[in-house]
């Protein structure tokens, strides 16, 4: 068969002329259609293709002129179309094609996105596609060589079923397919049975780097046996890391084989390799073919030097067997059926193709457990736009870096914008290619991400590849953008740059750590190891390759020789092959230079979830950049969860961003709102005094931009070298229609059409502390509440924490015996840690009513269980064991039954054990509890939920003389009297207080510190307004008792069940109206106490309503 692309390049001009001639000579639509059909038949004959034409094809909603498989052509009378689509003739034809596309989709069960339509009158083409729920309709394009070439490519690509689109790839290569089951299971059997030292080392190095970009703690505990079965692995217990290594190897190998096809397609006159010929190779020949790929040989032959570099996924060559060979044959056989014409015809569908395949290869839940959140294209486009004053122009002279590039979404979209800019500004293809390769750069620590991004980078370059003047390097590097190679600090390591690997540290002379030397050095080291040079030969050749002079540079020469000797030893041990290439990539952050823009979606992994070794290595960096503003590591961790994305933000600004350059990151919104963990981040200043300006924030928490995930997403734009001036612009995104989710495959226009961007502002809640949490809202409301933001006279605390042993301490009372003892049953339902469910007899003395989050509504708190309180509030540890045995022996024996569970609690080992030499000493009884003080046993308290969408407060009073105890999901303020508790509750439930809390709090973390910034005066029993508020609160509680609630359970991303309660209007209208009047009166009285005006209260209520919505 003739090469299609060469044929089209040669004949498009001729066919265009024939269409134009047909347009001039045809008397009507039928004659025009006949002549063009004849041209298409001639083309198909030349190419030996069957285009499967259906003329006058009857569909559900009309009759199409011509249908070529998935392409519909609607012919119009010659010269009847106009220059734009506002004319009736154009609109009528377009509407017909749209109907035909919908009809063909329904009749033949196609997805509408896989169809295309064309209107043609011999003078103009109009191209029509459907994407999701919207239509892409091109303006009329004159019939000429270029438009005919595009028309014919579309025609030919849609005549073949195996278009290179995500749905097809998922169907053929995703989970539970013949290909994936054969290849992944063969890999897993080989990996788990081998003793090969090189395979072991490659796996360990991959594990190290993979665990630094995922949630290591969560990954190591994953139960993946059922998922592994979908890949032909039926072991009863599957090691998560070994399974993911095999899965990543499969995915990476598929990418490499696909990439070869892409590079051939764009560089070798469209002569795609005949993959079917490879299938005829025997096992050993096939292995040699794969060795050539894994060494990068084929890519170097095609002019791409670094496509495979520092890759861990060639390990299977060391354990090659017939099962792996047969798996690869099945993979290549399936891949060979695909048409690459889709790359040109529908570039938007193929953009970031591999991301979509990986998302289906790894289920969403599993990816999220690993901390993998791939950025939707629309979100990346929004971020890029906000970097560049609302519209990313794609100036090719601006340098852009993604330091955690994942699958390359930001880079791919940036390249597309740059290509659009070049077309508008007549920049030549040769010059454009050079600029993109110099200025669009990516880093990632995950080897799979790097190979994915390099391939997507090739996709994005597309036709530019044929304009390269020499060999090229794809500027995507396997390296750590946080921990870069560092110079030693002592006398013996000064002037030496070092970085760590699983086989030990590698050292390079500082004088050679330059862009022009590292590649030469790495390539030479790899060559020297293969040649096994002796010391004299090595040093002689080294000085020939690099600007080193014997005697003068002996120190540097000896360092390089020691490195070579290390690599040679590894080679003899059978574990070399990649280290020289790893060196080349690891040093990339040191010489790529500075950038105008740094963009990305850095890993969202908590500091304590990282591997211990990585925590130790990065610890000094956290302190260096001021992200641990507290003292002592325990104190730090207690002050909130710090995310690795915070550290990457500061390092990226410091190391990679030009002065006045801008950084745009997708980041957790918590960094703006949390008191402890975000404090250092919000200082917006580097260690050397360079300031950072907050240019813009998009708060997207309410729209959940990551499909199926409730994480707290925000976009932040920062500028280096400028100072932050408050208030800062803060866009608060909300959905126009509740319940309609944002899909990953939506366009930015789609998302903007279904959301509202509220123009809020943000500034530190404490005007005297610029690092304090931000309060956000309308400017008028923020200005108004400044009158009541300040130091509170009240202190809040968390409720009792059992350290994850609720199922031991929480009980139901079944009955009371005549002797006074009670029969209890422990509550195991919903417990994080499974314990034995038992019924037993204990003393009543330590039983207290238990109030949980589900028990609290506004103005109402009703305990639903009991808790065994064994904590001494004075000593702040469990009641002494001797006392327990003496006074409460049955309670003690009950707890003793769960001793193992209680001792294994992480919090117990943290707070109630101390190291004494090599021994661990306990400093509290095994049943000790946490967050218990005198305040816990106060008779009157005001409580609110820790996890809630609003500031919901209620008063808690004693029950039968016993104080009610709150669990850790409730915050509490101890009060001295009933009157004081109701006064405080009224103030907290007022609109101004609620606005402050919702304006700077996080709905999953309504912690005790929130009260610190609401200046609530101490209750004065002589103050009439205070007493009136107390009376109003008591009335509100009485009314609330009569209201029936509809409980709705909502599951958050942390799998916390929060009950949201709504008043039932039909049954409770009268009570609701009464409560509303009381709350309006509370607003008036609290406003008077705080000195607010009616207008200020109105502004606060408007902004509060927006936040609640």
pLDDT of 272 reads 43
CA distance 988 to 1014: 9
Alpha helices in 212-321 (DSSP H): 216-220, 225-229, 240-267, 275-278, 283-294, 297-301
Banded model confidence at residue 1049, pLDDT cuts 50, 70, 90 = very low
Q: Which residues of 743-759 are buried (b: 16+ CB within 10 A; e: fewer)?
A: ebebbbebbeeebeebe
- What are the contacts of 843-848 at 24+ separation with CB within 8 A? 843/887, 843/888, 843/890, 843/891, 844/816, 844/820, 845/887, 845/888, 845/891, 846/870, 846/888, 846/891, 847/811, 847/813, 847/822, 848/962, 848/963, 848/964, 848/965
Q: Output the pLDDT for position 57.
A: 83
pLDDT at residue 919 in the model: 75
Distances (CA, A) of 128 to 96, 148, 340, 845: 11, 15, 21, 78
Give Cβ neighbours of residue 314 (< 8 Å, ≥ 6 apart).
202, 291, 294, 295, 577, 578
What is the crossing angle of helices 240-267 and 197-211, to 10°? 90
The model's pTM: 0.77
Look at residue 413 and give its three-state secondary structure. Answer: helix
Per-residue confidence (pLDDT) for residue 524, from 0 to 100: 87
Residue 271: the pLDDT is 42
pLDDT tens across 814-829, in order?
999 999 999 999 998 8
Percent share of the chain, pLDDT over 90? 48
The 10s digit of each residue's pLDDT in 945-1004 is 988 888 889 999 999 999 999 999 999 999 999 999 999 999 999 999 999 988 887 766
pLDDT of residue 276: 60
| Angle value at C-alpha 372, between 368 and 374, nearest 5 degrees | 110
- Whole-number pLDDT of residue 913: 82
Cα separation, 425 vs 414, whole angstroms: 16
Range of weakest confidence among 83-87, 341-345, 746-750, 1041-1045: 341-345
At residue 908, the pLDDT reads 86
Confidence band, pLDDT 50/70/90 cuts, at residue 1045: low
- pLDDT computed for residue 160 by the predictor: 58
Q: How confident is the model at residue 201 (pLDDT cuts 50, 70, 90)?
A: confident
Dihedral pair phi/psi, residue 1097, rounded to 5°:
-65, -40
- Quick one: pLDDT band at residue 1048, thresholds 50, 70, 90? very low
The terminus-to-terminus CA distance of the chain in angstroms comes to 62
Domains of the chain: 4-161 (3.90.1570), 170-374 (no CATH), 376-448+470-485+599-777 (3.40.50.150), 488-586 (no CATH), 797-1100 (no CATH)
Mean pLDDT of 363-378: 67
- For the stretch 845-861, pLDDT in tens is 999 999 999 999 999 99
pLDDT at 1058 over 60: no
Residue among 543, 566, 559, 545 at smallest CA distance from 510: 559
How far apart are the C-alpha atoms of 335 and 145, rounded to whole Å? 32
pLDDT in tens, 381-431: 999 999 998 899 999 999 999 999 988 999 999 999 999 999 999 999 999
- The two beta strands, 713-720 and 692-699, are antiparallel
Across the range 316-337, mean pLDDT stands at 90
Query: pLDDT tens digit string along 922-935?
Result: 788 999 999 999 99
Neighbour count for residue 630 (Cβ, 10 Å): 15
Average pLDDT over residues 264-268: 72
Query: What does the pLDDT average to over 48-55?
Result: 80
Is the preceding omega at residue 727 within 30 degrees of 0, hence cis? yes
What pLDDT, in 10s, does the model give residues 585-605? Answer: 888 888 888 999 999 999 877
Are 313 and 248 a contacting pair, CB within 8 Å?
yes
Mean pLDDT (the chain) is 85
pLDDT band at 502 (very low <50, low <70, confident <90, very high): low
Residue 795 CB partners (closer than 8 Å, separation 6+):
973, 1008, 1011
pLDDT band, very low/low/confident/very high, at 1067 (cuts 50, 70, 90): low
- Above pLDDT 70, what percent of the chain? 88
Residue 1046's pLDDT is what?
56
> Per-residue pLDDT tens for 882-923?
999 999 999 999 999 999 999 988 888 888 888 777 777 878
pLDDT-derived band at 266 (thresholds 50, 70, 90) equals confident
Place of tokens 């070579």: 564
In this prediction, residue 217 carries a pLDDT of 54
355, pLDDT greater than 80: no
Over residues 820-846, the mean pLDDT reads 89
Asked if pLDDT for residue 80 goes beyond 90, the answer is yes
Residue with tokens 């932040």: 716
């Amino acid at each position: 068969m003739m090469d299609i692309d060469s044929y089209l390049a040669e004949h498009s001009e001729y066919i265009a002329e024939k269409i134009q001639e047909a347009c001039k000579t045809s008397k009507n639509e039928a004659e025009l259609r006949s002549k063009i059909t004849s041209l298409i038949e001639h083309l198909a004959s030349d190419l030996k293709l069957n285009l499967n034409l259906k003329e006058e094809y009857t569909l559900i909603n009309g009759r199409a002129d011509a249908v070529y498989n998935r392409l519909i052509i609607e012919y119009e009378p010659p010269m009847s179309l106009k220059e734009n689509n506002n004319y009736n003739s154009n609109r009528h034809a377009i509407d017909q094609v749209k109907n035909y596309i919908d009809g063909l989709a329904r009749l033949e069960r196609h997805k509408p996105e896989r169809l295309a339509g064309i209107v043609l009158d011999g003078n103009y083409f109009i191209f029509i596609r459907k994407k999701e729920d919207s239509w892409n309709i091109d303006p009329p394009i004159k019939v000429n060589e270029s438009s005919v070439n595009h028309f014919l490519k579309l025609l030919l690509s849609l005549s073949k079923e195996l278009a290179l689109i995500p749905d097809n790839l998922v169907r053929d290569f995703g989970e539970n397919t013949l290909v994936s089951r054969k290849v992944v299971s063969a890999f897993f059997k080989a990996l788990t049975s081998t003793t090969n030292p090189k395979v072991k080392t490659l796996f360990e190095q991959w594990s190290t780097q993979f665990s630094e970009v995922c949630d290591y703690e969560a990954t190591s505990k994953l139960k993946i046996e059922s998922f592994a079965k979908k890949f032909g692995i039926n072991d009863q217990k599957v090691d998560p890391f070994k399974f993911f290594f095999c899965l990543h190897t499969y995915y990476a190998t598929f990418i490499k084989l696909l990439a070869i096809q892409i590079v051939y397609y764009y560089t070798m006159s469209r002569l795609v390799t005949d993959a079917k010929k490879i299938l005829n190779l025997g096992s050993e020949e096939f292995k040699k073919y794969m060795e050539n790929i894994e060494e990068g040989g084929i890519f170097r032959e095609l002019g791409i030097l670094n496509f495979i570099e520092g890759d861990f996924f060639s390990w299977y060559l060391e354990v090659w067997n017939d099962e792996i060979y047969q798996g690869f044959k099945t993979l290549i056989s399936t891949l060979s059926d695909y048409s690459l014409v889709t790359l040109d015809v529908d570039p938007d569908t193929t953009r970031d193709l591999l991301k979509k395949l990986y998302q289906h290869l790894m289920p969403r839940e599993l990816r999220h457990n690993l901390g993998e959140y791939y950025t939707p294209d629309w979100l990346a486009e929004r971020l890029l736009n906000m970097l560049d004053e609302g519209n990313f122009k794609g100036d090719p002279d601006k340098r852009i870096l993604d330091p955690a590039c994942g699958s390359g979404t930001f880079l791919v979209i940036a390249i597309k914008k740059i290509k659009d800019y070049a077309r508008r500004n007549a920049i030549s293809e040769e010059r454009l290619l050079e600029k993109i390769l110099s200025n669009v750069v990516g880093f990632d620590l995950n080897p799979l991400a790097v190979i994915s991004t390099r391939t997507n980078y090739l996709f994005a370059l597309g036709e530019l590849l044929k304009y390269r003047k020499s060999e090229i390097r794809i500027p995507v590097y396997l390296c750590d953008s946080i921990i870069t190679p560092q110079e030693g600090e002592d006398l013996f390591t000064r002037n030496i740059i070092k970085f760590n690997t699983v086989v030990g540290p590698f050292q390079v002379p500082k004088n050679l750590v330059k862009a022009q030397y590292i590649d030469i050095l790495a390539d030479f080291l790899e060559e020297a190891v293969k040649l096994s040079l002796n010391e004299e030969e090595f040093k002689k050749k080294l000085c020939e390759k690099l600007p080193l002079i014997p005697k003068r540079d002996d120190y540097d020469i000896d360092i390089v020789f020691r490195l070579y000797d290390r690599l040679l030893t590894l080679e003899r041990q059978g574990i070399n092959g990649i280290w020289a290439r790893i060196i080349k990539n690891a040093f990339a952050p040191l010489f790529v230079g500075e950038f105008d823009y740094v963009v990305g979606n850095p890993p969202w992994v908590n500091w304590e979830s990282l591997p211990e070794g990585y925590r130790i290595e990065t610890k000094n960096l956290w302190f260096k950049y001021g992200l641990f503003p507290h003292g002592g590591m325990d104190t730090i961790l207690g002050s909130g969860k710090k995310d690795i994305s915070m550290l990457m933000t500061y390092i990226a600004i410091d190391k990679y961003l030009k002065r006045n350059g801008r950084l745009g990151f997708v980041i957790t919104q918590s960094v703006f709102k949390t008191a402890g963990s975000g404090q250092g981040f919000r200082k917006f200043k580097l260690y050397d005094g360079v300031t950072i300006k907050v240019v813009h924030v998009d708060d997207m928490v309410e729209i959940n931009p990551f499909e199926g995930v409730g994480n707290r997403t925000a976009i932040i734009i920062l500028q280096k070298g400028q100072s932050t001036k408050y208030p800062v612009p803060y866009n608060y995104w909300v959905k126009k229609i509740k319940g309609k989710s944002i899909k990953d495959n939506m366009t930015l226009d789609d998302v903007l059409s279904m959301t509202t961007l509220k123009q809020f502002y943000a500034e530190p809640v404490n005007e005297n502390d610029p690092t304090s949490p931000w309060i956000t809202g309308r400017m008028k409301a923020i200005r108004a509440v400044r009158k009541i933001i300040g130091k509170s006279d009240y202190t809040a605390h968390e409720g009792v924490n059992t350290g994850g042993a609720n199922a031991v301490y929480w009980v139901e009372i079944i009955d009371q015996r005549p002797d006074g003892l009670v029969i209890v049953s422990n509550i195991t339902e919903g417990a994080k840690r499974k314990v034995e469910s038992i019924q037993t007899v204990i003393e009543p003395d330590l039983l207290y009513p238990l109030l949980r989050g589900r028990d609290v509504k506004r103005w109402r708190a009703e305990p639903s269980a009991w808790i065994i309180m064994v904590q001494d509030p004075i000593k702040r540890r469990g009641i002494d064991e001797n006392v327990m045995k003496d006074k409460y022996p049955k309670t003690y024996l009950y707890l003793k039954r769960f001793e193992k569970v209680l001792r294994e609690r992480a919090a117990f080992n943290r707070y109630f054990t101390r190291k004494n030499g090599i021994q661990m000493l306990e400093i509290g009884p095994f049943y000790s509890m946490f967050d218990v003080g005198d305040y816990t046993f106060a008779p009157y308290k005001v409580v609110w939920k820790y996890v809630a969408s609003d500031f919901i407060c209620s008063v808690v009073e004693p029950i039968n003389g016993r104080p009610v105890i709150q669990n850790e999901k409730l915050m509490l303020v101890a009060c001295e009297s009933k009157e004081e508790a109701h006064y405080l509750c009224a103030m907290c439930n007022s609109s101004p207080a609620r606005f402050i809390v919702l304006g700077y709090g996080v709905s999953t973390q309504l912690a005790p510190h929130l009260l610190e910034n609401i200046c609530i005066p101490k209750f004065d029993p002589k103050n009439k307004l205070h007493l009136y508020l107390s009376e109003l609160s008591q009335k509100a509680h009485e009314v609330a008792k009569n209201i029936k609630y509809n409980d709705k359970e909502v599951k958050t991303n942390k799998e916390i069940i929060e009950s949201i309660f709504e008043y039932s209007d039909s049954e409770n209208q009268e009570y609701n109206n009464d409560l509303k009047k009381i709350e309006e009166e509370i607003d008036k009285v609290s406003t008077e106490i705080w000195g607010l005006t009616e207008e200020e209260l109105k502004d606060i209520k408007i902004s509060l309503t927006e936040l609640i919505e």
